[in-house]
Amino acid sequence: MADLRTTTPTHSRILGVGTYRPRRVVSNEEVCGRIDSTEEWIETRSGIRTRRFAAADETLCDMAVLAGQEALKHAGITADEIDCVVLASMSNLVQTPPAAVVVAHELGAANAAGFDISAACAGFCHALAVGSDLVRAGSAKHVLVIAAERMTDIVDPTDRTIAFMFADGAGAVVVGPSGEPGIGPVVRWADGSARRALRMNTTWGEFRDDPSLEWPAMKMDGRRVFRWVVEYAVPAARHALDRAGIGVGDLTAFIPHQANLRMIEVMADLLGLPAHVAVATDVVTAGNTSAASIPSAMDRLLREEKAPPGGPALLIGFGAGLNYAGQVVLLPEARKTDA
């Protein structure tokens, strides 16, 4: 019998990161024009001051392409070197073809496969784990991992409980081979018993059959989500550190899902992060961009030089399901285009 040919395992790491933020900046004052609230209440409750809303010509795929281009520039590689595009999103209203396939074509990644992942606000960390595993197994040399969201398409702008939180945008990273470990083991779990804490109020099928129903939009039990994050996601973050063999004192950055500033502050406090660890707070000016929030926050920390290139960072995403995913990574080195 002939021997089956296999690929040679290797290590993986993030080679570059990029972001696309929609042009339109939306203030709390503007949001309050559609909901019964105040600017002070929104900022006190969430820490959010502004957020970005996509225009009609800023489609989910368009934003993903632009974020991907930035990540490729940072990594110093070209689109034709990408073997696979993995795209995480919970807000894509186009069921087929997969957004990743469209994005790969628009980028000129002619050699790439492409597929989508849907894991809500935890989607990026799930997608990053998949991309890392593809590289580590030798199934791909370079994987472009993108998270892109148009949350304004699935959030009711008059819902005072969440309309002020969610926003649009895209973030991307290039994952490639490395001589040393650069992406730690993923921790992940899903808790279907909490599925109603973040859900759609109506399905598209129900709305099709009875247009008198509310149009399909996301609903959230914020208090239940907060309690779940404290009970499960914070211990998961500790587990990610343990699996990577990293202590909190070794970290240079903590980049959680940018749900809201208050939740980020509570998580950082419960983890006992030392003062030198940069805590990502992109949510203050970008809002909650669901799966796109972690790569976008990573990009901002590096651009603003709040975290050193190459330093270890703890990522943890959590969202509808409820579910979480996280890992420790080495941040990408200095941008190739900055050299």
Could you read off the pLDDT of 80-128 as tens digits, one per residue? Answer: 999 999 999 999 999 999 999 999 999 999 999 999 999 999 999 999 9
**CATH 3.40.47.10 residue spans of the chain:** 11-178, 187-331
Q: How far apart are CA 135 and CA 140, in angstroms?
A: 5
Closest CA to 55 of 156, 158, 153: 153
Q: What is the pLDDT of residues 137-154, one digit of tens each?
A: 999 999 999 999 999 999
DSSP H or E stretch at residue 26: strand 24-27
Q: How far is 111 from 253, CA to CA, in rounded Å?
A: 34
| pLDDT given for residue 334 in this prediction | 79
Distance CA 287, CA 260 (A): 8
> Which of the following is catalytic: 28, 121, 142, 260?
121
CA-CA-CA-CA dihedral for 265, 270, 271, 272, to nearest 10 = 90
Report pTM. 0.95
Average pLDDT in the chain: 95
Which tens digits make up the pLDDT trace of 192-209?
999 999 999 999 999 999
Q: Give the model confidence (pLDDT) of 37-81 as tens digits.
A: 999 999 999 999 999 999 999 999 999 999 999 999 999 999 999
Pick among 3.40.47.10, 3.40.50.1820, 3.40.30.10, 3.40.630.30: CATH of 187-331? 3.40.47.10
Q: What is the DSSP string of 75-87?
A: HT--GGG--EEEE
Phi, psi of 167 (to 5 degrees): -150, -175
Is residue 257 flagged as an active site residue? yes
Q: How far apart are CA 82 and CA 95, in angstroms?
A: 24
Catalytic residue, candidates 142, 257, 260, 323: 257
> What is the fold, at CATH topology level, of the domain defined by 11-178?
Peroxisomal Thiolase; Chain A, domain 1 (3.40.47)
Instruction: Find the farthest-apart pair of alpha carbons in the chain and give their distance in angstroms, rounded.
Output: 73
pLDDT higher than 60, residue 17:
yes
Known catalytic membership, residue 84: no
1-37 burial, b at 16+ Cβ within 10 Å, e below that, comes to: eeeeeeeeeeebbbbbbbbbbbeeebebeebbeebeb
Quick check: 6 pLDDT over 80? no
Please state, in angstroms and as integers, the Cα–Cα distance from residue 90 to each residue in 117, 249, 270, 318, following that order.
8, 34, 28, 13
In this prediction, residue 28 carries a pLDDT of: 97
121 is catalytic: yes
Phi, psi (deg, nearest 5) at residue 302: -75, -40
